[in-house]
A and B are shown apart, each in its own frame.
Chain A
């Protein structure tokens, strides 16, 4: 059974909570005590119908204010797949939460209200999904019951969306007409829309390809930790612990260690006591080499016979800013990749993207919370990276504020 991570973005009005509630309820993933608790809480709040949003809005402030503030994770499984939902608030002031939820998603569900068609927030969600390199997008055209299940309405929205999406780098898009409230095309096929030939949403989620998880074809292995027991049983053991973040490695393969550029041969791959002949993304393993080389956390192993990553100190990035303290040119930030850390300064802001219109705004001198922009940075020591479009693990980094230690921004290398 495979695992699919998907994100949903939207506000209460477009029926996102109803859709998630429907998926959980119809796949029998809501339990009696949860439903009871939600029924009771709805009644206390004077809601006439059971408010399924209360299932996902867990924090006291969220329940009191009736809004989703943070990313919430929900889990369900069918006999075919396990699913992890990153449920994120859709309003513009929560762009950073959308970015966070989208960072690990394999698929993004973008909800469109059939009565309103493509809106600013549709553009925003689509832009963030494409920026974060989500491989699959589902445009769920919801509330079809309120437009008489009209194929004409559906087709117009599909055409409008395709026109808008032409301006973005979007992978595969699937369009599904649904009614989350009545259940049409969510879990079960709709008898109200015989003109729709595709699968219902859940069927699509169960069968969409997840082969992209194997990552780029090139092997990438950021070293997290060096395992050296120095025990009587393992006197000379030295294993490099990490997670394969792209491609495949075999025992006997020639590897290059970056940034040093030294080479060696893989002597063994293991997962605890299991000796493996090969390992692929996203397995966590430890790798032994045939030569004694100085390797530490932050280094990266790659295959000598494959495409090589960049080793450099100057990067052009798409940045999403997360913090109330704005990004200022010439400010110092701690720059962190998966396992490496250095210090960097922002040298230029090339342009800021208006996430509602996709227009590029130039002449911007700082980035405020939720801004997305193309930024040039310079780091004090070299980092080993790929373009984000090529590898989401080795192409991403975060900005950390030196004074507060908070994560203040996220960057995707171009």
Chain B
């Protein structure tokens, strides 16, 4: 006899809401790292549910690479208006202008790595003591070792070999001045869980996730969007295709999936049949075997 009837989505939702409430209780200045991707949208939605009818107790912090899809920015601004939330923007362009970072050049130039400096600057400037992110353990092998409450030293660095043990649902957010935490409320969700939850809760999503006609070109077996932010090689040619994003980063590193999926149900079917992980479309992870761990140690999301 099995009387237990709560679905895995309800259990995951409850776990994430529990974590978000712990953040509000244990920290003074938390912020949600909002990228405009589905994971940070779901985290923001869970935060809305966790504190209703209170207004979102966290500002949204967007690290703007200046290389965004326009659709991402439109969605962000609309969401901020709807939730009456506070939006704080950390600009990579400004970090470049101030000489804090140096722009990469060439065909593979990306501002992905530069974001780390802008992010750490924004955390310091706004005195954030907790940055809430949408990272999931199933995404990537270094992320599989992340805690829900992940401690960062005064340089914003992660020390994977000396993480605090995390038992039951007791989260230790104690820290010294100048240190902060990264918090990952949807650690235990998979890509499939995220989409099933979006379907269940009818969360509106950016149009980029759905099939649309777009000018694209092929590079190293990946489809990339034609954009003023990417320099095309003379051998590369633009074509118009029906495509969608499976993950959303900035334009330079987001591979598009050729797809006819135009509803959330279609996307779920497509993921169920897919034999490649979502980060298989991310050029930033392919730089080396432990590219993610190296970036995370330095303070990346």
Contact = CB atoms under 8 A, between A and B. Distances in A.
Interface of A: 1-3, 31-34, 37, 41, 55-61, 63, 69-75, 77, 81-82, 84, 96-97, 99-100, 103-104, 209-214, 224-225, 227-229, 231, 233-234, 237, 241-243, 270-273, 280, 282-284, 297, 322, 334, 336-339, 392-393, 396-398, 400, 405-407, 410
B269 interface: no
B277 A322 contact: no
Interface residues of B, number: 63
Could you tell me the dominant secondary structure of chain A's interface residues? mixed
5 contacts: A57-B141, A210-B4, A337-B170, A406-B164, A407-B165
Contacts of A336: 170, 172
Contact of B167 (A75, A99, A228): A99
Interface string B38-67: 000000000011111111000000000000
Interface stretch (B17-25, B109-117, B205-213, B243-251): B17-25
Contacts of B70: none
A60 B50 CA distance: 36
Contact of A75 (B53, B190, B294): B190
Given A73-B188, A75-B137, A284 B50 contact: yes
B166 interface: yes
Interface string B1-29: 11110111011111101100110110000
Given A32-B280, A73-B138, A396-B168, 13 more contacts: A3-B7, A58-B145, A59-B293, A63-B290, A69-B161, A70-B163, A73-B144, A77-B192, A213-B11, A229-B54, A282-B15, A334-B174, A338-B169
A33 B10 CA distance: 30
Contacts of A272: 48-49, 52
A297 B49 contact: no
A75 B3 CA distance: 24
A214 B275 CA distance: 36
Contact of B145 (A34, A70, A337): A70
B6 A283 contact: yes
B8 A284 contact: no
Per CB-CB distance, the 10 closest pairs between chain A and chain B, nearest first, are: A58-B141, A3-B8, A405-B174, A33-B280, A284-B17, A103-B167, A284-B14, A272-B49, A272-B52, A82-B8
Contacts of A55: 141
B82 to A, nearest CB: 14
Contacts of A297: 25
Nearest to B172: A407
A23 to B, nearest CB: 15
Contact of A60 (B24, B174, B290): B290
A392 B168 CA distance: 8
